[in-house]
Amino acid sequence: MTPILPKATQPTTTQPKTKLPGTPPLAGATRALPPIETMVRATLERDASYEGTFFLGVTTTGIFCRPGCPARTPRRENMVFFPLAEEAMIAGFRACRRCHPLEPRGATPDWLRSLLEEIEQNPDQRFKDGDLRTRGLVPERVRRWFQAQHGMTFHAYQRARRLGRALGEIQNGGDLLGSAFESGFDSASGFAEALSKLAGVTPGEARQSTTVVVDRILSPLGPMIAAATDDALHLLEFANRRMLETQFLRVVRATKGVLVPGSNAIIDQVRRELDAYYSGKLRTFVVPCAMPGTEFQEAVWNELRQIPYGETRSYAELARAVERPTAIRAVGRTNGDNRLAIIVPCHRVVGADGSLTGYGGGLWRKQRLLEIEGARTPPPAAGATSKKS
C-alpha cells in the first residue's frame, strides 16, 4: 500500500519490514486512513486523540511521527500519511526521537525503566532529587513524565505506592502506627495526612475500606485505565475519556474503597485478554467483573454482553430487548455510563440507519473496534486515493 500524500513526491528509500515491539497489532493489519483533511487538521492542532489512527511522515526530514507530536509542525505539502508504522518504515522514514512512534503511547521509556523496577522491588524506598541525579536522571524530566502519565508528580506517586502498601497491611489486621512506619512514613501524622489527601478517609476508617488498585494498560488505540479489587474488575476506560474522573468517583462509592496505584491478578488477566482481543484471537472476555447500577442500568449492561461478536444492534433494538421500547434515550445514557469499555461492548450499538453515534472513547475508536470484530469495513479515505504497490 502506498501512503496518502497531499502534494508531495513519494520517498524512494526502502528498508526491510521490521516487527515492532510493544502492544499487539490490530486484527486485520492494513486499514483505510481517515479523510485527508481530518489528518491534516489533527496534525496542525497536535490532536493526540487520533492516536492509533495514522502516522505522519515528513518528506523534508525523512522522519515519521505519531499524532500530537510536539515537534515543529511541517508544511502541508510535506506531509505523508500512513496507516501503520511498519509502512512508514518500509517507505524509508525514521522514527521521531521526540514522540517515539514505535513505542505504544504511554510506554515506559528506556531511560526510566530501571528506576521503576527499583520502585517495584522496594516500594518503601524514597527517592529524592539527589538520588535521581546520581542515577543520571533529570528530576524535572521524571516529574513531567509522571505528571503526564499518572496525573501526579514522581514524589506523589511514591507516596501513593507506600500508602497502598500500608493500607493492605492495615486491612489485614496490622497495627496502624506500625504499618505507617514500615511503609516509610516518618510519623503517624504524616501517614494520616497522606491518607486523607489520597483517599479521603482517616487511618481508622481505612481498616474498613476496600483497596482498589489502578493501573495503565497500553493498547493499539491508546492507553487504558483499569481499576480492580482482588476479586473483580470495576473500571476499564480509555485514558483520555472526559468522564474518567466521574467514573472513578462511582467506583469509590460502589466499593466503599480507596484508589491506589498498583496492579493485581485481575488487572494482569484483563491485560492478557485485551492483548488477545486486539490481535483478533479472543471473542469473549472471562475476567471477573463488577459494575453495580440501577435495575435498568444492569439490565441494559447485561443485554450489551449478549450482542454477539461481529454484530451490532440499534438503540431501539436494545430498548426492546430490555422490555422498555420507548426508553431509547435512557438506553443511550446508560451506554454512556458503562464503566467497562470493550468488555461490556457498548461500541456494538449503532444508530437505526447503521451510523456510528455516541461513543465516549471517540467515534474513530468505535469504528476500529467494529473493524476488529468484522462488524464494519474500513471506509474509503475521502479526498484522496491509495493504490496497491
Residues annotated as catalytic are 346
Q: Where are the alpha helices (DSSP H) in 172-258?
A: 176-182, 188-199, 203-206, 244-255
Angle ∠(107,108,111) on CA atoms, nearest 5:
140
The DSSP secondary-structure symbol of 227 reads E
215 to 206, 233, 362: CA distances (angstroms): 21, 11, 21
What is the rounded distance in angstroms from the CA atom of residue 252 to the CA atom of residue 20?
38
What is the rounded distance in angstroms from the CA atom of residue 340 to the CA atom of residue 348?
13
Residue 211 — φ and ψ, nearest 5°? -85, 125
CB 229 within 8 A of CB 266: yes
Query: By C-alpha distance, which of 81, 86, 78, 87 is closest to 67?
Result: 81
CB 40 within 8 A of CB 384: no
